[in-house]
Amino acid sequence: MQSGYEIRAEIDSALAKSLILVNGGGVIALLAFLPETITNPEFKTLATSIVWALLLLQFGILFGLLHTWLRRRCNLDYEVAEASSPTYPDPWTLRIYRFKHVFREPRNCVLSWFCALLSGVMFFIGGLIVFIGGLCTISGN
């Protein structure tokens, strides 16, 4: 029977693969569709939105890869803490001028989840841009 740690590790691996897969799939789909829109002047708005969406999806892939790298470093932070003492690693304290926030997790863990969130957001915004460009093209604007 798997431990809770192993189950969470599998879920994290599936999340990392999913983030890269959806953004990469979006890039492939838009690249396949782009030549048809670029050659037709009636689809200029749609072609422009596709190019912007491609840029966002590329950032989505980058954030997905960063999430994977930071997740590995987060795991290492926990291993080091367990080897040196029975307590958890020190939480990350973010200080910006007079603002101070203490997270429950170490810096690498917080940044890992932030990158995962950004990867998903890039996919959503990229799709939204193509949707809006398509609506503008259909309505003639």
Per-residue pLDDT tens for 69-116? 999 898 888 888 877 776 678 888 889 888 999 998 899 999 999 999
List the one residue out of 120, 112, 127, 113 whose CA is nearest residue 49. 127
Q: How confident is the model at residue 141 (pLDDT cuts 50, 70, 90)?
A: low
Query: Are 57 and 122 a contacting pair, CB within 8 Å?
Result: yes
The pLDDT value recorded for residue 79 is 83
- pLDDT, average across residues 25-50: 93
The pLDDT value recorded for residue 81 is 81
The pLDDT value recorded for residue 53 is 97
Q: Between the CA of residue 68 and those of 9, 26, 60, what are the distances in Å?
A: 11, 19, 12
C-alpha torsion sign, points 75, 80, 85, 87? negative
24-35 confidence digits (pLDDT tens): 999 999 999 999
Residue extents of the structural domains in the chain: 4-139
The pLDDT value recorded for residue 2 is 67
**What residues contact residue 7 under an 8 Å CB cut-off, 6+ apart?**
none
Where helices occur in the chain by DSSP H, the ranges are: 4-38, 44-84, 107-139
CA atoms of 59 and 41, how far apart (whole Å)? 28
Question: How many other C-beta atoms lie within 10 A of the C-beta of residue 92?
Answer: 17
Q: In whole numbers, what is the pLDDT of the chain averaged over residues?
A: 90
The pLDDT value recorded for residue 10 is 83
